[in-house]
Amino acid sequence: MEHGSITDVRSSTFSLMDEDHTLANSVRFTLNQDPRVEFCGYSIPHPSENRVNIRVQTTGDPAKEVFKDALQNLLVMSQHVRTTFDRAVQDYRAQPHNTIGSDGRL
Amino acid sequence: MKKASVMDIPDVPKGQLPPHLELQRTRVLCGSDAPTHSEGIQYSGAYASMGIDNSLRLDDFCNKFRVEIIQLTEDEMEFDMIGIDASVANAFRRILIAEIPTMAIEKILMVNNTSVIADDVLSHRIGLIPLDVDPRLFEYLSGNDSPNERNTIVFKLHVSCKKSGPRITVKSDQLKWLPNGSELEMASPNPSAKPKSYTSFTCSQDSLPEFSNKPIGLKHEDIIVAKLGPGQEIELEAHAIKGLGKTHAKWSPVATAWYRMLPEVVLLEDVEGELAEELVKKCPVNVFEDIEDLATGKKKAVVANPRACTLCRECILKIESTGALPPEVLFSEAVKVLEDKCDRVISELS
């Protein structure tokens, strides 16, 4: 859910349930890369409670749009990682490989 | 008077950071007491005054990102990801450990346990045994559902040690799969009614196409579960369900998953002669190698094996699977889970 002010759409805090550092740190990284973002950060109010607060302040665009774009970027990045990884596994499988000897060297 | 922009001053480099800043941006340096510059310079406007755009272009990322697989066996894999930041690699590692579903034994129906191992200790040990079954073929069992062939796997353990015989060791291969569901009957208040079983399987699991060729079993047959003395007996039934590592570590699909930055060892000055030999001998993991410098006839130390160094924005990721899913499938699933999380938050916002 989003906590923002009605008059100023440029900054707001997004409070996400059932999330932790896994998503928050990666989304903070993609948010930082966006030139429209003036400030972004995340905090976990209490470790026993599964909630994370992400703060976004932008230079003019509504914070919700910028946050959505950052998530979209992260999504596309992960898809790209997945396809590159699958292709690399296929290429690795296709080549004949020597087994590793007992001393750890080829 | 015409205003001169700072960009026009001739000695400010345009489009390229001076080499020491470039080093700071892309490498983590290890000082003698602690690593420095370990936080990435992520802010997009960080170098704005120099005219450099630090923002992430997706197409840039897609062009530069590479994966190189070093080792891939049935149980273990090691690969390099080049061009990705530590926060995303850490997200993958956290998902691999905690958020990929697996099957593990959760409920134990104890019929008889006269061994020296207490009921709860024995149940805990059996719960930790890894099962060789693809969790994607099963559904979650939630509170209101009844256990059926789509969400439960039933095993049976019945071992007894003869009074006059030697002591026996109960190993995990004694856990037999029951494809027809539970054989135990629930106590019914109505004695004439047909007794209900603890699970309601509508069909036998080995008639399902996924299991007819490959019966469900355990990954390792030689795990010691308990030891029995003469006259002792264990009889129990174990039900396995799907869960996440977040809830309990028995549902974690990896023995471990870790990542580290690829070390780049740069010799600041040439090390020659006897010092070179000493350097080669001192390194416990053979990072350095002697080569003959033909021109002067002296030996020079050269960095031959930087990967082995135990100290760029490159990350080596290593995954050890417990066996239910092969490691490359695990990593694919982990990336899918991250995508699903993003999707969920995006749809909540819209």
H or E segment and range at residue B170 = strand B168-171
- How far apart are the C-alpha atoms of B212 and B208, rounded to whole Å? 6
Q: Which residue has the higher pLDDT, A87 or B214?
A: A87
Q: What is the CA radius of gyration of chain B?
A: 30
Average pLDDT in chain B: 73
Q: Which residues of chain B neighbour A100 with C-beta distances below 8 Å?
A: 71
Lowest mean pLDDT among B28-37, B107-116, B161-170, B180-189: B28-37
**Among A19, A20, A71, beta carbon nearest to B346:** A71
Q: Is A23 on the interface with B (CB under 8 A)?
A: yes
Residue B122 confidence (pLDDT) above 90:
yes
Helix, coil or strand: residue B189: coil
Nearest CA-CA distance, residue A7 and chain B, Å? 19
Q: Is B50 on the interface with A (CB under 8 A)?
A: no
H or E segment and range at residue B62 = helix B58-64
Q: Which residues contact B257 (CB under 8 A, 6 or more apart)?
A: B93, B96, B97, B317, B318, B319, B320
CA dihedral B191, B194, B195, B198 (to 10 degrees): -150
Q: Does domain A2-94 have CATH number 3.30.1360.10?
A: yes
- Tens-digit pLDDT profile for residues B266-308: 555 555 555 556 655 555 555 555 555 545 555 555 555 555 4
The tokens describing B128, both together, are 């930790």
Angle, vertex CA B9, rays to CA B6 and CA B12, nearest 5: 85
Q: Which residues of chain B neighbour A75 with C-beta distances below 8 Å?
A: 339, 342-343, 346
Nearest CA-CA distance, residue B67 and chain A, Å? 6
In this prediction, the answer to ipTM > 0.90 reads no
pLDDT score, position B231: 92
Helix, coil or strand: residue B7: helix
Q: Which residues of chain A neighbour B56 with C-beta distances below 8 Å?
A: 30, 33-34, 73
- Tens-digit pLDDT profile for residues A10-63: 888 888 888 888 888 888 888 888 888 888 899 999 999 888 998 888 888 888
- Pick from B220, B308, B210, B301: nearest CA to B262: B308
Q: Is B84 on the interface with A (CB under 8 A)?
A: yes
Residue located via tokens 């027809």: B180
- Pick from B316, B323, B282: nearest CA to B301: B282
- Tens-digit pLDDT profile for residues B67-83: 888 888 888 888 888 77
Return the amino acid letter for B47: Y
Q: Is A39 on the interface with B (CB under 8 A)?
A: no
Q: Do A81 and B44 touch (CB under 8 A)?
A: no
- How far apart are the C-alpha atoms of B234 and B112, rounded to whole Å? 6
Q: What is the pTM of this model?
A: 0.74
CA dihedral A90, A94, A98, A100 (to 10 degrees): 10
pLDDT score, position A4: 72
Crossing angle of helices A21-33 and B86-98, in 10° steps, is 160
End-to-end CA distance of chain A: 54
Q: Do B335 and A78 touch (CB under 8 A)?
A: yes
User: 3.40.109.10, 3.30.70.20, 2.170.120.12, 3.40.50.1980: which CATH number matches B101-186+197-251?
Assistant: 2.170.120.12
In chain B, residues under CATH classification 2.170.120.12 are 101-186+197-251
Lowest mean pLDDT among B39-48, B161-170, B324-333: B39-48
Domain boundaries, given as residue ranges, for chain A: 2-94
